[in-house]
Structure 1
Amino acid sequence: MNTEDQEHSHLRPGGRQHNQKRFTAMAAYKTLSTPKGYLVLIILSFILGYITHSQTQTQTQTQTQIPPDVSDLSEHNKFPNKCKHPVPSNHVRQTVLDRVFNGTSPFQGFPPPHITSLLWEDWAKGWGSNAPVFEHLINQVRPRVIVEVGTFLGASATHMVGLTRKLGLDTQIICIDDFRGWPGYYDEEKSLKMVNGDSLLMFQFMQNVVKANATDSILFLPFSASTALNGLCDWGVYGDLVEVDAAHDFHSAWVDINNAYKILRPGGVLFGHDYAWEGVRYAVHSFARLNGFQVKLDGEHWILY
């Protein structure tokens, strides 16, 4: 090796190592140039792609399945919190009549002839409809307007009419229900004949109100809970007592409670039934925690205070 080669030998790889790398590269090239080599290359590419895709998919699924922080309840509380200016309590009945029934009582001319023979004279079934909580709260609040979300056949509504009359109160009760029951609804004790797909629950409710001589004290909104509560909000109709006794799943109960709270008059009480249901309990305590309420129990009923 001459002097120049010695001076620059540190700048190039050693001869033997360099030759080994060249030999390995040429061998690999010759191997991959054969049909068998192409097959091996395709298989390796497929395996590498599968592994990469699986890892990406697993990461994506993991991120998707992780629920948001349940403690941040405000993210699920995007309900409008302002309703129209409240109408006076003694104008509530006429407001509902004008907005829903063209100014005429729906009990006028009831029952229609084709329905009369299909209704039960006495069938006011309910669950917890005569519970002590109604008397407790009516004595405490002395309400002028009561809103009941979920009324079924009106058993609790007619019971509350009796309680308010004992106190000499001129109370208007607004009952909210779509009167459709639920899919597959059938009552083992009594049932109504279905007429052209109509379960006749609204007519039976009206029959029960008539029998209780409460047609001047009770009106109803035959819509879903959200539709009816948003309507009351838009009309400025507020309740001194608002009861939520409708769906039992969390999401429905959560929406009902939030919408019901919007129409609660200052100083009023929001309460409800079915505390035994997990979805209802979670909705009640979530709402209470978010809005600074405590939850009090009265039998199967919950009360926010």
Structure 2
Amino acid sequence: MKEDQRPLQQRNKSPTSKLFTRSAAYVILVLLSYTLGYLSHTSPPQQQQLQPPSPVFQLADSPSQLDNFRVTAPCANSPLPPHLVFPTILDRVFNGSSPYSNFPPPYLSSFLKQRRIKGWGSYGAVFQHLIKRVKPQVIIEVGTFLGASALHMVNVTRELRLQTQILCLDDFRGWPGFRDRFKDIKMINGDVLLFQQFMQNVIYFNATGSVLPVPFSTASGLEKLCEWGITADLIEIDAGHDFISAWGDINRA
């Protein structure tokens, strides 16, 4: 009897494993045939029409939708004539006398510069364009700081030979931390001298007959001007630069 010379690994292969391999191959072929047939006879899915997304918000398209955001103030029945604007401010704010009289007092002289002008966009062409077009008799500036814009408007009105009165509405307190950038603006007993330096600037440019300060917050000041019947041909809004402050000033103006 001859000894089986086949390798051990080959001798151990059983008919069962061969059967399993053939069966698995048949199953795979059947599945592939079924899949190909299904794909070839299935119609492609219909494309859905995309709808534009609905807007997150809509702008108000009627006055009533903005009523909750409006600021109203009681106003005089009729506006004051321009020649009464300065006398009214002097009477109601400064007790009938000019704030420039005998200014500066001796104790302040050493704290003020002869002139200290600083502004942002204060010399833009828009000032000359609007003043030349409107020829205003009264301008209200909401937000003044050291008076750069106001004094520029004085120069423009002089060049155009206009007799324009400019009211500068500002509380002259600056903003928290502004002295980090303006350390040369002095402070006495916690009172920053913005108002006094503004007045010194007006005197230096010989503009006391054209510029008059209204040293109050923009909200209370605009309400009082409206109540007193003081209106303007041009109004510059340049006080608080956040949305709420600017929106309130625009509505009150």
Aligned amino acid, residue 211 of structure 1: Y
Larger helix proportion, structure 1 or 2? 1
- Give the one of 119, 129, 153 matched to 1:126: 119
1:158, distance to aligned residue in structure 2 (A): 0.6
Does the 8 A contact of 2:74 with 2:226 survive in 1? no
1:154 to 126, 139, 147: 147
Query: In terms of Rg, which structure is larger?
Result: 2
Stretches of structure 1 lacking an aligned partner (at least 5 in a row)? 1-67, 261-305
Equivalent-residue separation in structure 1 for 2:246 and 2:174 (angstroms): 16
Question: Where do 1:164-243 residues align within 5 Å?
Answer: 164-188=157-181, 190-243=183-236
8 Å CA contact 1:247, 1:253 repeated in 2 = yes
> 5 Å matches for 1:20-169?
71=60, 72-80=65-73, 82-169=75-162
Distance 2:183 2:77 in 1: 42
The amino acid across from 1:257 in the alignment is: I
Are the aligned partners of 1:151 and 1:175 in contact in 2 as well (CA < 8 Å)? yes
Tell me the residue number matched to 1:245: 238
Retained in 2: the 8 A contact 1:173–1:217?
yes
Alpha-carbon offset, residue 122 of structure 1: 2.2
8 A contact 2:141–2:169 mirrored in 1: yes
Give the 3-state SS of the residue equivalent to 1:128 in structure 2. coil
Relative to the length of structure 1, the TM-score reads 0.61
Structure 1 contact 177–220 (Cα < 8 Å) conserved: yes
User: For 1:78 and 1:125, how far apart are their aligned partners in 2?
Assistant: 31
Deviations 1:87-130 (A, max 9, x none): 11111110110110011100000001111000111211010111
Contact kept, 8 Å, 1:147 with 1:173, in 2: the verdict is yes
CA distance in 2, matches of 1:117, 1:94: 31
1:233 is displaced (CA, Å) by 0.4
- What root-mean-square deviation, in Å, do the aligned CA atoms of Structure 1 and Structure 2 show? 1.9
Which letter maps to 2:249?
Answer: D
Take 1:88 and 1:153, find their aligned partners in 2: how far apart are those partners?
A: 28
Query: Which amino acid is the alignment partner of residue 185 of structure 2?
Result: L
List aligned pairs for 1:251-270, cutoff 5 A.
Answer: 251-260=244-253
SS for the counterpart of 2:245 is: helix
CA distance in 1, matches of 2:201, 2:77: 32
Structure 2 counterpart of 1:185, one-letter code: F
Percent identical among aligned pairs is 55
Verify the 8 A CA contact 1:84 1:233 in the aligned structure 2: no
Letter in 2 for 1:230: E
Match of 1:43 in 2: none
Q: Report the alpha carbon displacement of residue 182 of structure 1 after superposing the two structures with TM.
A: 0.8
How many Å separate the matches in 1 of 2:161 and 2:202?
A: 19
Distance of aligned partners of 1:113 and 1:135 in 2 relative to their CA distance in 1, 3 Å threshold: same
CA contact (8 A) 2:75 2:227 kept: no
Letter in 1 for 2:128: E
> What pairs up with 1:4-15 in 2 under 5 angstroms?
none
